């Protein structure tokens, strides 16, 4: 909402400065978004009087002028054709910045003669495009500030334009008068009376208006009258200046009047050319669907059933509360005008405007709510203005429907401001505030003014009182603790688990990413998503069309972007939700890590190598351990098809309890996502890890033996696809009490063993508890290990 | 006896290496060494002779042994020094490379905020990112026609043919978590709800996903003055600047009444923003007293309970605190950005150790 300071002062009698007004507006909740202070850039210019002007000896077009200024007579060289003796001019003295030419004036010599300043044109001061000569003023004193002269003689040129943001609850502030009322209530002046007397009609209105019975809730009331014999044309200068200042284009007087009241009083009006209303009858009705109209914006609209339309015998002429029609609008030639002031329902207007995608000043106001009670006054104000400037005579006013009743009252509980806001405001001040905002107090009941549709309860009264008093008066007050003493932990076990996973990943050298929750359909489909249930109806772009089923596609896209920037090797991770459906709650927390390229740049120690599956396996295990997962897990090969089929493992506690997956990303997926491999990844499901059963912090007692442990190595020849874990578990099972650990320390595939055979070498660590192991004991356990392993794997002890 | 002494001490001093030294040892004090043989002769001596020769031989043996071990140590030092002289490394070579992982600023700042509010007794509540339009709008006092709905640039989920329910939305704010938590826990209540939110907007200061933190405190006598105190305490702790002032400005949000936009004190010096000083104000969050309709929607009786709510952008306060210029870069995963603005894994914000370095 834009308005000028002088427009505001039409409604508000005030001595407040611009800064005071701006501060108060923002503080009142009418946030100032910008001020165009057109005087500020002219403040250094003063008036001068050209005492004499003589031809420059060395330049045909230049004159040497002696100019009286507040600092005495100055010599100024000037090239303007109208620079001559006896005129009052605008002077820029040395040091003054001239906006139109983006230059600061200095003392200089022009063709050998010194010049002490400049006489300005309108264009140089950005007042207009006029540059045929310097400004000649009809009045003014030598030394007077040019801004002061303008303020007195041509205020529209220096009037500050204020733009404020209007929250949806304040339609009344969409009119300058509403803004003035708030400022007056704050104590920044007095609201001026701006009533006009009703204009008596001198003939019966020749146009009739009816509202269909089923349309009365969409358009409860419609006031209208004809003014005949008007002379349309350009608006008077003050009105043009007003509209231009706030960014509106003056069109013709009759149209400008409607725009003026839209902004002055939040009272949208419409003018029909009365001679173009077929059958001299307007009907307000619900659209059947399919009707069309060319709007004032010259666009063609087709209506859906139920929209509010205004039609004559020929068909639709106007969209109620939204926009008038081209065909029946006023033009320069209009002689007889039909003036409409109606009230349209906010909800219906909002739906219609949204459906038709029309953003008009009228829609903006009706959908927020204008003052229905002011409808009859609005038509009188507009009539008066039209008669004053365009002549003609007014008919009687016709009315269809009736003004909707907005009467309601709420109890003012003076203590409520204290308890809800925490401010001490005396009851008398509270009552005064409400009264100045237009509330009428009867005892403790505050009757809400018709222009405040937002006030719907007692809390709103508190809000008004606090707002006008200023929330800056609010003093902070400590919030007492809910419990005494040391604060308790506040994170749930899952929240802690998430934080630990994140910090462990970072500790393992991964960089955390936060990527968008939506990705393109193709990438989502590669990871088992991209279906209809997870599709966005209105994505911001086709690249962001589906909720991500997993974190890996986002990380792979990030990897591709980084590779394109010249970074081949990276470790990225993300912790966040994946979406397995489109219903609330169909999301699950994931932790994913991605290793691409080599372990590091090539280096002098030869440490750099391509990343492999066992890198991500180690990291996945470390993060799982940090989150409290059990150490004994199963590794299955049942991962989804974005994993390399032979190079991945599913970490689980039984076939249905999957804690995570690690492995090489399928080469096809890498190709589709334009990532240069190899790429290793892991994904973990933190919620699948069982929560610890006991709550206490006590650890189990440490059970260690002073007896010496013994290690024995074995090598077995097994089928190439025999899994090491099978072998390890078999060896561990040989003597559960004695065997503490089994480690694989060598794998050798093929060679002399034959292509589908391999050798696996293990170290078995035996830890006696009661007595030192004898060689006999050790041999017995060794025999058991060999027996168990050969039985479990079908392999043989390597000779 | 003196001859022997001179002979062996001379030989020991001249020994070139440990082998030579060993040969000398065997020749002198070994089982069949010259000194040992002499000591065997003691038995055949008279007691008087023995009394003179015994101590002298023992002294000689000790002296030779000392000389041997002294020479041995000297030789060993010399050979070690010789070895060390050859063992020179260029220690300016780089160490074996290790990766430095980082924590994203959104995660870090979320933990910072959580630490501060946790101390004030707020727990962390969470909710779904896809939500019904009832939780996201209606329950928050934003009915279907409300202009705020259109202004929020909501993302909608597609609806299958024949499913006539209103489409679900990607939550446009973390406020639906207020309703879900009130439903689940009732009053009194103190929660913060951090998390990702979505709006269909993209430019230098807007991304289609960003992060908010919501605060909600409900009790019987909580007022806006408590809110002001809580926020001032929060900002002072968060920015690490004593006594940051806030300015409350009247505003409007459908879910609070009265509503206030909150500015924090700042200054602009040479284009640089400084928080907590100067005469300027920077808008940082929206807040207010929870609207009675919102309490009702959450199943909390507005005649008994009242409270405040606020919401602020995590990414935004991260940008302010750490001087990060562009919001869009938060979600671009550029390695250079992640490394520059990220945090070390062990930089866990705590109140006792400090929220930042």
pLDDT for position B245:
84
pLDDT for position A129:
64
| Contacts for A545 with CB less than 8 Å, ≥ 6 apart | A518, A519, A520, A521, A535, A536, A539
pLDDT for position A155:
77
Are A478 and B252 inside 8 Å of each other by CB? no
Answer whether A510's CB lies under 8 Å from A684's CB. Answer: no
Residue B27 in this model has a pLDDT that exceeds 90: no
Output the average pLDDT for chain A. Answer: 93
Asked if B93 is an interface residue toward chain A (Cβ–Cβ < 8 A), one would say: yes
Residue B61 in this model has a pLDDT that exceeds 80: yes
A282 three-state secondary structure:
strand
Q: What is the pLDDT of residues A752-792, one digit of tens each?
A: 888 889 999 999 999 998 889 999 999 999 999 999 999 99
Q: What is the pLDDT of residues B308-344, one digit of tens each?
A: 999 999 999 999 999 998 899 999 999 999 999 999 9
Report the residue of B121, B201, B260, B333 to disrupt the A interface, i.e. the one with the largest count of A CBs within 10 Å: B333
Q: What is the pLDDT of residues A648-659, one digit of tens each?
A: 999 999 888 999
Asked if B352 is an interface residue toward chain A (Cβ–Cβ < 8 A), one would say: no
**Long-range CB pairs of A625-630, under 8 A, 24+ apart, other chains included:** A626/A500, A626/A501, A626/A504, A627/A497, A627/A500, A627/A501, A627/A504, A627/A684, A627/A686, A627/A689, A628/A497, A628/A689, A628/A691, A628/A692, A629/A659, A629/A689, A630/A690
Output the average pLDDT for chain B. Answer: 91
How many CA atoms are closer than 13 Å to the CA of A73, on its beta-carbon side? 7
B319 three-state secondary structure:
helix
Q: How far is B65 from chain A (nearest CA, A)?
A: 39
Are A490 and B124 inside 8 Å of each other by CB? yes
Residue A696 in this model has a pLDDT that exceeds 90: no
CA separation for the pair B10, A786 (Å, rounded): 65
CA separation for the pair A177, B260 (Å, rounded): 23
Count other C-beta atoms under 10 Å from residue B92's C-beta: 5
Residue B85 in this model has a pLDDT that exceeds 70: yes
Q: What is the pLDDT of residues A428-467, one digit of tens each?
A: 999 999 999 999 999 999 999 999 999 998 889 999 999 9
Q: Reply yes or no: is the peptide bond before residue B188 cis, omega within 30 of 0.
A: yes
> A152-161, A232-241, A254-263, A385-394: which has the minimum mean pLDDT?
A152-161
Closest CA to A91 of A125, A52, A138: A125
Answer whether A322's CB lies under 8 Å from A358's CB. Answer: yes
Residue A637 in this model has a pLDDT that exceeds 70: yes
| Beta strand ranges found along A322-439 (DSSP E) | 323-324, 337-343, 393-394, 398-401, 409-411
Residue B185 in this model has a pLDDT that exceeds 90: yes
Q: What is the pLDDT of residues A728-740, one digit of tens each?
A: 999 999 999 999 9
State what percent of residues in chain A have pLDDT above 70.
Answer: 100
CA separation for the pair A423, B223 (Å, rounded): 9
Are A587 and B130 inside 8 Å of each other by CB? yes
Q: What is the dihedral of CA A347, A348, A350, A353, to 10 degrees?
A: 180
pLDDT for position B58:
87
Query: Which member of B147, B208, B339 has the closest CB to residue A511?
Result: B339
| Contacts for B86 with CB less than 8 Å, ≥ 6 apart | none
Buried b (16+ CB within 10 A) or exposed e, A502-519: bbbbbbbbbbbbbbbbbb
Q: For residues A244-249, give the mean pLDDT.
A: 87
Q: How far is B273 from chain A (nearest CA, A)?
A: 20
Q: Reply yes or no: is the peptide bond before residue A524 cis, omega within 30 of 0.
A: no
Report the residue of B224, B230, B234 to disrupt the A interface, i.e. the one with the largest count of A CBs within 10 Å: B224
Residue B149 in this model has a pLDDT that exceeds 80: no
Contacts of A352 in chain B (CB under 8 A): none
Q: How confident is the model at residue A97 (pLDDT cuts 50, 70, 90)?
A: very high
Q: What is the pLDDT of residues B273-319, one digit of tens each?
A: 888 888 888 899 999 999 999 999 999 999 999 999 999 999 999 99
Output the CA angle B60-B61-B63, nearest 5 degrees.
65
Answer whether B195's CB lies under 8 Å from B128's CB. Answer: no
| Contacts for A188 with CB less than 8 Å, ≥ 6 apart | A12, A14, A16, A20, A21, A24
So what's the ipTM on this one? Answer: 0.89
Where is A67: in which H helix or E strand?
Answer: strand A63-69
CA separation for the pair A154, A61 (Å, rounded): 31
Q: What is the pLDDT of residues A615-627, one digit of tens each?
A: 999 999 999 999 9
Residue B122 in this model has a pLDDT that exceeds 80: yes
Show the tokens assigned to A336. Answer: 């007889």
Q: For residue B99, what is the nearest residue in chain A, using CA coordinates?
A: A509
Count other C-beta atoms under 10 Å from residue B62's C-beta: 11
Query: Which member of A495, A517, A558 has the closest CB to residue B129?
Result: A517
Q: What share of chain A is helix, strand, coil (3-state, %, to 5)?
A: 30, 25, 40
Contacts of A576 in chain B (CB under 8 A): 196
Output the CA angle A345-A350-A353, nearest 5 degrees.
120
Answer whether B310's CB lies under 8 Å from B217's CB. Answer: no
Asked if B179 is an interface residue toward chain A (Cβ–Cβ < 8 A), one would say: no
Answer whether A449's CB lies under 8 Å from A438's CB. Answer: yes
Query: Which member of B104, B252, B292 has the closest CB to residue A514?
Result: B104
B193 three-state secondary structure:
strand
Which carries the bigger pLDDT value, residue A570 or residue B205? A570
Q: What is the DSSP letter of B124?
A: E
Q: What is the pLDDT of residues A178-200, one digit of tens each?
A: 999 999 999 999 999 988 999 99
Compute the count of residue pairs across chains A and B with CB atoms less than 8 Å apart: 277
Q: How confident is the model at residue A128 (pLDDT cuts 50, 70, 90)?
A: low
CA separation for the pair A396, A398 (Å, rounded): 6
CA separation for the pair B297, A479 (Å, rounded): 25
pTM for the model stands at: 0.85
pLDDT for position B168:
95
Length of chain A: 799
CA separation for the pair B126, B174 (Å, rounded): 9
Q: What share of chain B is helix, strand, coil (3-state, %, to 5)?
A: 45, 25, 35
């Amino acid at each position: 909402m834009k308005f000028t300071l002088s427009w505001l002062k039409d409604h508000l009698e005030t001595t407040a400065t611009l800064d005071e007004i701006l501060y108060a507006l923002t503080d009142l909740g009418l946030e100032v978004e910008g001020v165009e202070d057109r005087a500020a850039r002219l403040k250094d210019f003063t008036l001068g009087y050209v005492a004499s002007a003589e031809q420059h000896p060395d330049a045909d077009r230049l004159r040497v002028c002696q100019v009286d200024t507040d600092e005495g007579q100055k010599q100024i060289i000037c090239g303007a054709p109208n620079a001559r003796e006896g005129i009052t001019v605008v002077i820029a003295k040395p040091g003054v910045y001239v906006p139109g030419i983006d230059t600061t004036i200095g003392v200089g010599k022009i063709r050998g003669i010194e010049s002490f300043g400049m006489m300005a044109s309108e264009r140089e001061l950005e007042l207009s495009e006029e540059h045929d000569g310097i400004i000649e003023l009809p009045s003014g004193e030598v030394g007077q500030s040019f801004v002061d002269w303008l303020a007195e003689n041509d205020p529209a040129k220096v009037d500050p334009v204020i733009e404020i943001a209007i929250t949806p609850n304040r339609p009344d502030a969409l009119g300058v008068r509403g803004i003035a009322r708030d400022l007056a209530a704050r104590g920044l002046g007095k609201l001026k009376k701006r009533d006009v007397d009703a204009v008596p009609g001198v003939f019966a209105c020749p146009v009739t208006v009816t509202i269909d019975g089923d349309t009365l809730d969409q358009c409860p009331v419609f006031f209208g009258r004809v003014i005949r014999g008007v002379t349309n044309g350009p608006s008077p200068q003050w009105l043009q200046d007003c509209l231009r200042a706030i960014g509106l284009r003056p069109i013709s007087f009759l149209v400008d009047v409607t725009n003026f009241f839209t902004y002055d009083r939040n009272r949208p009006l419409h003018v029909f050319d009365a001679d173009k209303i077929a059958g001299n009858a307007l009907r307000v009705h619900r659209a059947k669907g399919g009707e069309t109209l060319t709007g004032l914006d010259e666009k063609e609209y087709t209506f859906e059933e139920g929209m509010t339309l205004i039609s004559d015998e020929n068909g639709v002429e106007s969209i109620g509360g939204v926009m008038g029609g081209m065909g029946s609008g006023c033009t320069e030639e209009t002689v007889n005008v039909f003036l409409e002031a109606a009230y349209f329902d906010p909800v219906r207007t909002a739906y219609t405007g949204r459906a038709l995608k029309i953003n008009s000043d009228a829609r903006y106001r009706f959908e927020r709510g204008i003052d229905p009670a002011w409808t009859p006054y609005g038509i009188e104000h507009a009539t008066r203005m039209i008669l004053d400037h365009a002549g003609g005579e007014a008919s009687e006013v016709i009315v269809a429907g009736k003004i909707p009743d907005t009467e309601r009252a709420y109890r003012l509980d003076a203590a409520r401001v204290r308890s809800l806001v925490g401010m001490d405001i005396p009851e008398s001040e509270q009552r005064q505030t409400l009264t100045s905002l237009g509330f009428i107090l009867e005892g403790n009941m505050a009757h809400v003014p018709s222009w405040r549709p937002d006030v719907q309860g007692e809390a709103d009264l508190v809000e008004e009182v606090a707002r006008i008093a200023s929330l800056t008066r609010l003093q902070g007050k400590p919030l007492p603790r809910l419990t005494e003493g040391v604060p308790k932990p506040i994170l749930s076990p899952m929240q802690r688990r998430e934080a630990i996973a994140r910090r462990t990943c970072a500790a393992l050298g991964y960089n955390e990413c936060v990527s968008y929750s939506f990705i393109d359909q193709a990438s989502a489909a590669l990871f088992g998503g991209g279906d209809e249930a997870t599709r966005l109806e209105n994505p911001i772009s086709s690249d962001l069309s589906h909720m991500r089923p997993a974190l890996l596609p986002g990380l792979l896209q990030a990897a591709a972007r980084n590779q394109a920037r010249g970074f081949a090797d990276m470790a990225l991770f993300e912790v966040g939700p994946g979406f397995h459906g489109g219903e609330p709650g169909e999301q699950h927390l994931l932790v994913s890590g991605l290793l691409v390229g080599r372990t590091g740049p090539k280096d002098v120690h030869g440490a750099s190598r391509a990343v492999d599956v066992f890198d991500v396996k180690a990291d996945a295990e470390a993060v799982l351990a940090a989150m409290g997962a059990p150490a004994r897990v199963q590794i299955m090969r049942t991962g989804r098809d974005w994993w390399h089929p032979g190079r991945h493992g599913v970490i689980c506690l039984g076939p249905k309890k999957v804690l995570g997956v690690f492995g090489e990303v399928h080469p096809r997926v890498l190709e589709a996502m334009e990532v240069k491999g190899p790429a290793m990844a892991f994904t973990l499901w933190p919620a699948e890890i069982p929560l610890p059963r006991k709550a206490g912090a006590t650890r189990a007692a440490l059970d260690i033996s002073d007896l010496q442990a013994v290690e024995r190595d074995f090598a077995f020849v097994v089928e190439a696809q025999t899994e090491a874990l099978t072998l390890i578990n078999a060896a561990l099972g040989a003597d559960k009490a004695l065997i503490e650990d089994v480690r694989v320390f060598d794998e050798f595939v093929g060679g002399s063993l034959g292509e589908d055979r391999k050798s696996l070498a293990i170290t078995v660590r035996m830890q006696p508890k009661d007595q030192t192991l004898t060689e006999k004991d050790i041999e017995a356990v060794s025999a058991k290990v060999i027996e168990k392993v050969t039985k479990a794997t079908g392999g043989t002890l390597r000779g | 006896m003196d001859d022997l002494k001179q002979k062996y001490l001379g030989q020991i001093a001249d020994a070139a290496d440990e082998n030579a030294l060993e040969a000398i040892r065997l020749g002198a004090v070994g089982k069949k060494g010259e000194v040992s043989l002499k000591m065997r002769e003691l038995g055949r001596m008279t007691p008087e002779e023995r009394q003179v020769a015994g101590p002298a031989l023992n002294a000689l043996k000790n002296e030779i042994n000392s000389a041997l071990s002294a020479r041995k140590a000297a030789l060993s030092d010399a050979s070690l020094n010789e070895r060390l002289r050859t063992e020179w490394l260029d220690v300016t070579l780089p160490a074996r490379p290790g990766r430095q992982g980082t924590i994203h600023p959104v995660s870090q700042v979320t933990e910072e905020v959580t630490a501060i509010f946790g101390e004030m007794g707020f727990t962390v509540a969470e909710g779904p990112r896809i939500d019904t339009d009832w939780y996201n709008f209606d329950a928050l006092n934003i009915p279907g026609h409300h202009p705020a709905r259109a202004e929020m640039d909501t993302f909608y989920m597609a609806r299958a043919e024949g499913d006539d329910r209103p489409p679900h939305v990607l939550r446009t704010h973390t406020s639906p978590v207020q309703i879900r938590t009130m439903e689940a826990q009732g009053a009194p209540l103190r929660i913060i709800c951090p998390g990702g939110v979505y709006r269909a907007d993209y430019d230098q200061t807007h991304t289609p996903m960003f992060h908010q933190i919501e605060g909600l405190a409900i009790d019987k006598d909580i007022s806006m003055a408590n809110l002001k105190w809580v926020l001032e305490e929060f900002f002072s702790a968060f920015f690490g600047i004593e006594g940051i002032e806030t300015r409350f400005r009247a505003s409007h949000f459908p879910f609070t009444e009265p509503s206030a936009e909150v500015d924090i004190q700042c200054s602009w010096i040479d284009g640089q923003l400084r928080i907590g000083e100067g005469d300027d104000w920077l808008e940082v969050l929206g807040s207010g007293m929870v609207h009675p309709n919102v309490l009702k929607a959450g199943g909390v009786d507005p005649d008994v309970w009242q409270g405040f709510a606020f919401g602020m952008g995590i990414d935004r306060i991260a940008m302010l605190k750490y001087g990060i210029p562009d919001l869009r870069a938060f979600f671009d995963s550029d390695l250079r950005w992640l490394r520059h603005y990220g945090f070390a894994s062990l930089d866990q914000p705590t109140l006792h150790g400090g929220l930042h370095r």
